Amino acid sequence: MQMRQIEAFRSVMLTGGITNAAAMLHVSQPSVSRLIGDLERAVGFALFERKGRRLTPTRRAEVFYEAVRQSFTGLDLLEQAARRIQAAPVGTVRVSALSALAGGVLPQAIAEFQKVYPDVRVAVDGQSQRGVEDRVFLGQADLGLGVRQEFRDGVSMSPLATAEYYCALPHGHRLWERELIVAADLEGERLIGPMHESDALWDSIDRTLQQEGVAVRRPIEADLSFPTYCYVASGLGLAIVEPFSAPLFAKLGVGVRRFRPRVTLDYVLIEPAHLGPAPEAVAVLRDAIRRATDALLRQTDRLAEATIDSVQRTGRPRAIAAEPI
């Protein structure tokens, strides 16, 4: 068993595939494939199931990866510190975030931040949850915005918000004048969202619909928040959505209603662990993110409350002014 083989295996597990692992290691894809094959022969068991061009880790690979991950933790923390020290004079704060937070929360937070640090650049990298954690862990991001997960070495997670999800619907929909939408109201509706097997939150929503005997149509699969809102705005269906983007899409005629049973998700700030206090600019942006998050949640809550009164008077939702942060 050679160190280069272990590095190749770790890179595949971190990035999710041969192509990204090769880019991470600055080698060719065949080289990574060869190293993985050599490692499998060395350990005496299969590490991946191969289906076409896709690799799926075996259970033994997951167990083996835990040992590999622990062995790399010390080195990764040193590399993380070096990258952060190296990046400090450049005048850039790097943020990795889920799309809902990158598009909903960060614009307001960055606007406030740049009043204090007009010459500091903010580099935003939209990622999956695992991608956000990896970039913070590897020192490629100073801050991460994601959802609460199990404890992970090398990163710390602090609460940002427990966000209530809403039912989004296009203007004029048959449920438009409802103040509250319950699962039974979705019978026969076109529901936009990820397939249940790919998303834990939606898995719980699907289970609720099944338990209550509610049949919905799922004609459009969308994993990201922004396109989901766009599809609702275009009249293609309803969606159970995060609240951060609601004020923006209210301008396009998308209404939000409270949904029951209540669906919530815990969002967190993710930072490198064991590196001491963050640089002042990072701390200022972190505080701005917290204020922007709170302001957006209050704004969406008011939007849901105000819509019904406005519709009864005018037939159109009342505009909600952006809240100062």
For 72-132, the DSSP string reads: HHHHHHHHHHHHHHHHGGGTEEEEEE-HHHHHHTHHHHHHHHHHH-TT-EEEEEE--HHHH
Number of domains in the chain: 3
Q: Are residues 44 and 110 in the same domain?
A: no
Of 214, 244, 262, the residue that ends a domain is 262
Question: Can you give the pLDDT at residue 86?
Answer: 59
Asked if residue 318 belongs to a domain, the reply is no
**Section 176-189 average pLDDT:** 94
Q: Are residues 210 and 249 in the same domain?
A: yes
**Section 45-66 average pLDDT:** 84
Q: Are residues 128 and 273 in the same domain?
A: yes
Asked if residue 313 belongs to a domain, the reply is no
Question: Can you give the pLDDT at residue 85?
Answer: 58
Question: Can you give the pLDDT at residue 154?
Answer: 79
Q: Are residues 60 and 204 in the same domain?
A: no
Model confidence at 83: pLDDT above 50: yes
Q: Are residues 254 and 286 in the same domain?
A: no
Q: Are residues 219 and 288 in the same domain?
A: no
Question: Can you give the pLDDT at residue 76?
Answer: 66
Q: Are residues 251 and 201 in the same domain?
A: yes
Which residues lie closer than 8 Å to 16 by C-beta, 6 or more apart?
Answer: 130
Asked if residue 305 belongs to a domain, the reply is no
Model confidence at 318: pLDDT above 50: no
Q: Are residues 208 and 123 in the same domain?
A: no
Sheet order of strands, 180-182 included: 180-182, 254-260, 166-170, 238-241, 191-192
Asked if residue 303 belongs to a domain, the reply is no
Asked if residue 321 belongs to a domain, the reply is no
Strand partners, 125: 96
pLDDT per residue over 86-101, tens digit each? 555 457 899 999 988 9
Of 18, 43, 76, the residue that ends a domain is 76
Q: How far apart are CA 199 and CA 193, in angstroms?
A: 9
Question: Can you give the pLDDT at residue 319?
Answer: 41
Question: Can you give the pLDDT at residue 176?
Answer: 92
DSSP 8-state code for residue 236: S
195: CATH? 3.40.190.10
Confidence of residue 192 (pLDDT cuts 50, 70, 90): very high
Asked if residue 297 belongs to a domain, the reply is no
Question: Can you give the pLDDT at residue 324?
Answer: 45
Q: Are residues 12 and 70 in the same domain?
A: yes
**Section 317-322 average pLDDT:** 43
Q: Percent of the chain having pLDDT more than 70?
A: 84
Question: Can you give the pLDDT at residue 129?
Answer: 86
pTM beyond 0.85, yes or no: no
Asked if residue 302 belongs to a domain, the reply is no
Model confidence at 325: pLDDT above 50: no
Model confidence at 212: pLDDT above 90: no
Q: Are residues 105 and 224 in the same domain?
A: no
Question: Can you give the pLDDT at residue 73?
Answer: 65
Question: Can you give the pLDDT at residue 279?
Answer: 82
Q: Are residues 222 and 183 in the same domain?
A: yes
Model confidence at 209: pLDDT above 70: yes
Question: Can you give the pLDDT at residue 165?
Answer: 93
Q: Are residues 136 and 278 in the same domain?
A: yes
Confidence of residue 105 (pLDDT cuts 50, 70, 90): very high
**Section 193-206 average pLDDT:** 68
Asked if residue 56 belongs to a domain, the reply is yes
Question: Can you give the pLDDT at residue 9?
Answer: 87
Q: Percent of the chain having pLDDT more than 90?
A: 42
Question: Can you give the pLDDT at residue 317?
Answer: 46
What domain range includes position 29? 3-76
Confidence of residue 311 (pLDDT cuts 50, 70, 90): very low
Mean pLDDT over the full length of the chain: 84
10: CATH? 1.10.10.10
Question: Can you give the pLDDT at residue 81?
Answer: 62
